[in-house]
Amino acid sequence: QVQLVESGGGLVQPGDSLRLSCAASERISSSYTVGWFRQAPGKEREFVAVIRFSAGTSHYGDSVKGRFTISRNNAKDSVFLQMNSLKTEDTAVYYCGAGRNLIWSSIWDPSRYGYWGQGTQVTVSS
């Protein structure tokens, strides 16, 4: 059973950058897809970015495309989210999720991910 721990959140100003980390309790196998989601108060959990461990391919939500980059380390036990040009609307709790054998059409759906971290708060404010 994979355990995930997010870190790297904080309070920043608009235009700043942050790098979030998601550390897994074990090496993540190629059958997994790991995604970043975020949830603002009163809103549903929103898809941010995903990386498929089998091929290293990634995909992004429209609201973060061109500003955020998802990556993994060579040991395949951590996933990162580099967030640049942050906006106030990026404020949310960011969660890392992992799911096995996900079909590509389902990667946007948080209910498909069986493992979640506790989340890390990102606040973008002037």
Nearest alpha carbon to residue 96 among 43, 30, 47, 27? 47
Tell me the C-alpha distance between 69 and 74, whole Å: 16
Q: In this prediction, what percent of the chain has a pLDDT beyond 70?
A: 100
For 74-107, write each residue's pLDDT tens digit.
888 999 999 999 999 999 999 999 999 999 899 9
Q: Environment class of residue 58 by beta-carbon count within 10 Å: exposed (0-12), middle (13-18) or buried (19+)?
A: middle
Cα–Cα distance for residue pair 86/105, rounded to 1 Å: 27
Query: What is the pLDDT of the chain when averaged over all its residues?
Result: 95
* Confidence band of 56 (pLDDT split at 50, 70, 90): confident
